[in-house]
Structure formats: C-alpha cells, structure tokens
Amino acid sequence: EKFHQLKLVYLVMLGGKGDVGREPAVVWLCIAVSAFLCQAVQASSGDRSNEFRGCLYVCRFNNCSLELTQDPYYGYTSLDSADASTEGLSALLSSRSCSDECRYHCMWHATMLFLGENKPTPQFYGKWPFIRVLGLDEPASVLFSLLNLLGHCAGLRRLRTSLPKSAPMYSTWQTYSLVCINAWLWSAVFHARDIVITERLDYFSAFSMVLYSLYTLCLRAVGPDRTHVKQSVGVACVALFVYHIWYLSNKRFDYGYNMKVNVTVGVCNGIGWLCWCYLRRARPYVLKCVWVLLVAAAGMVLELADFPPIAWVLDAHALWHLCTAPLPIPWYRFIVADCKYILEKKERDYMLQRAIYEEENRRLK
C-alpha cells in the first residue's frame, strides 16, 4: 500500500495521470530510492523524511538537470553550477542555485504535510523552517544581529569620546570593540545567507569575540601595566585561536568540538568576570558588569528552550540575539568607568608619591 501511495504522489508531482502500467521510469526510480531511504517519519528530522526527500528528488530531476555537482543523498550529478567555484563571495550571497530553491520549496511542502497530519514541526538540516523576507534566510536573526553590531559601534564611539588615548587599556578595549563588530557583522551575513563560507566566518568570528573577552579579563585581573604578562596571554590566545581554526578547517567540521570550546571559554570568561567583580564590589560601577553577565547567562536559557519559529520568523535563537542587543550600553559604561577609575588611581598615586618626595626634600633642607 505504501508503494502505491508513493507512486501516486510522484505521478501527481510529475504531472502524470496515474494510468496503471504507464508510469514514467523516474516514478519507479523515485519509489526505489524512497524505499531504500525509508525511515519512520516520527523518528526522523524533516530533511530525512520521505515527504522531503521525494519532493527534493523530483524537483531536482525536473529543474536542475543542467547543474553539475554531486548530490550528497542520491549520488547523482545535479546540484550547483560548474562555475560556482569561480564566483566571488558577493555572488554567492546574492544568488541561489536551483538546488537551494528546491530545498526551500520542498521544506515547506514537507512542513505543511507534517502539520496537516498533526505532527510536530520538523527541522531541516538542524534548523527550523523560516520564511524568507527580502531574500533573507532568517530575517529576525539578521535584524537582531545588526542591532548588536550597532550597539558595539555606539560603544566604540563612547570609548573614543569619553577617554583619552593615554587611558589604561584604551587600545585593548578599542580592539575588543572592533572584534565584536566583526563578529556581529558575520552573524548577520550568515543568518541572511546560510552557506558554508558564511557559517565558518560566523563561527570563527564568534569564537574570536569570546576569546578576546577572556583576554581582556586576564589583562584587567593582573593589571594593564604588566607588559610581559600581557604579551604571554596574547600569544597563548592567538595560538589557541589559530589551532581552533586549523583543527576545524583540516577535517570535517566538528560542531560538537566547536560548541564545547566556545562554552568552555565562555564559562571561564563569565565566572572570571564575576569573581573580579566580587573582589571589587565596593566600586559602584562594578554592578553594571554583574548585570550584563547575569542577563547574558539568562539569555542562554533561550538557546536551550528551543521552539518552532513564531510566525515562521522569530525563534529562540533570534530572541537570544534580541536579549543581547541592549547589553553593549551598560557594558561600555562599565568599561569607561573602569578605565577612568584606573586613570584616577594612577593620578592619586602620582600625587601621593610627589607629596612624599616634596616632604622628604623639606626635611633634608
């Protein structure tokens, strides 16, 4: 019975009349492939379901026969243009292959079938189905990533207008702002167009932001004037970053390893800053840092409480980006206040040393 149902589905999609014994050969090929790949839909993600794979096979067969690359599921040649390797990044971001369009169409075809049978909303390739808006794959995440980017741009401007260039850690925090701006830029690009290169740039840039934040913590903990420690920590962080990229680029991308490294560095960073704040709790401005850390940690709960996109646009990951968007405001206020504190402390120490020196000179006279 299932074979007959599959046959009728493929005949309808191919525009056939369903006459017994007169089915196109591709129908029997589709049935054989679907039977070979058949798994229980309830136990499969959307991209492994018969509904999606059958639709994808037929869509590619009908529309993508002139495209030339190897299909990872069916083993036949019909995906991307032979000239794709010569395209620049801008062309890759602005254009979509026939296979991309088939995936998008069949994703919604399968999703509607799932929902029509009162089944849970499926995920495809590890992601929820999203409606494209203005050609953007995940419009809400793009918007909220840009809000984070603007927050760090405003923070960088605040640093430059509120602190003298001679302020302690001025260059360190300025570099931090640029690292964060770069990370959120690639986050927006990745959510706008999910392809391999944008995914890698997003992941690597995100790790650079987390790692550089840990670097600033180390410098602030030991003191900004200890040059040898600053250089040693910097070399260690650069070595870790280079190894991280090398490890993920020289073999199949290990998502589990990438997540573990980011979480480990992020947790060390958060706990380290909280300990630093506790030891300096007498300073009023430290509360800004604590507030940012707690809100960021609470926002991570959204990543765990994953749910299908609201209106097929707003998911938990997008809400997490929205949660972090206002955090640069108090964070840069903390940075400016801390730099001013160090600067004022240096001035007080200098005045104290000068007063002691002058008092000793009076005694000698």
Count of residues making up the chain: 365
Distance CA 336, CA 162 (A): 7
Token pair recorded at residue 247: 């490890």
Same domain? For 205 and 308 the reply is yes
111-120 confidence digits (pLDDT tens)? 999 988 888 8
Asked if 106 and 231 sit in the same domain, the reply is: no
CA separation (Å) from 46 to 30, 125, 132, 297?
Answer: 18, 8, 18, 31
Rounded to 5 degrees, what angle do the CA atoms 255, 260, 265 make? 130
Q: What is the 3-state secondary structure (H, E, C) of 63-86?
A: HCCCCCCECCCCCCECCCCCCHHH
Does 37 lie in the same domain as 182?
no
**Residue 85 token pair:** 């390797």
Q: Are residues 180 and 304 in the same domain?
A: yes
Same domain, 310 and 163: yes
- Is residue 356 in some structural domain? no
- 231, 274: one domain: yes
122 in a domain, yes or no? no
Give the integer Cα–Cα distance in Å for 74 and 108.
21
Whether 193 is covered by a domain: the verdict is yes
How far is it, in rounded angstroms, from Cα 279 to Cα 342?
16
Q: Are residues 105 and 150 in the same domain?
A: no
Whether 246 contacts 191, CB under 8 Å? no
- On whether residue 47 sits in a domain, the answer given is yes
CB 50 within 8 A of CB 95: no
Q: Does a structural domain hold residue 362?
A: no
Digit-by-digit pLDDT tens for the chain (365 residues) are 444 444 444 443 444 444 444 444 444 444 443 443 343 333 347 888 888 888 988 898 888 865 534 444 444 333 343 333 334 555 555 577 888 889 899 998 989 999 888 888 888 888 888 899 988 999 999 999 999 999 999 999 999 999 998 888 999 999 999 999 999 999 999 999 988 899 999 999 999 999 999 999 999 998 877 778 888 999 999 999 999 999 999 878 888 899 899 999 999 999 999 999 999 999 999 999 999 999 998 888 877 777 888 899 998 899 999 999 999 999 999 999 999 998 887 776 667 766 676 667 777 66
pLDDT at position 125: 84
Q: What is the CATH number of the domain that holds 320?
A: 1.20.1070.10
Same domain, 181 and 274: yes
What is the model's pTM? 0.76
Examine the domain organization and report whether 75 and 153 are in the same domain: no
Cβ atoms of 303 and 262 closer than 8 Å: no
What domain count does the chain have?
2
Please state, in angstroms and rounded to a whole number, the distance separating the CA atoms of residues 138 and 265.
27
Domain of 28 in residue numbering reads as 2-116
Domain closes at, from 83, 116, 149: 116
Distance CA 362, CA 152 (A): 52
| In-domain check, residue 123 | no
- Examine the domain organization and report whether 50 and 99 are in the same domain: yes
Same domain, 47 and 79: yes
CA distance 213 to 152: 13
Task: For residue 222, count CB atoms less than 10 angstroms from its CB and return exposed for 0-12, middle for 13-18, buried for 19 or more.
Answer: middle
Rounded alpha-carbon distances, angstroms, from residue 287 to 222, 330, 338: 20, 10, 11
Residue 157 near residue 335 (C-beta atoms within 8 A): no
On whether both 148 and 238 belong to a single domain, the answer is yes
pLDDT at 251: 78
Region label for 312, one of left (φ > 0), alpha (ψ between -120 and 50) or beta (otherwise):
left
DSSP label of 96: -
Annotate 104-136 with b (16+ C-beta within 10 A) or e (fewer).
bebbebbbebbeeeeeeebbbeebbbbeeeeeb
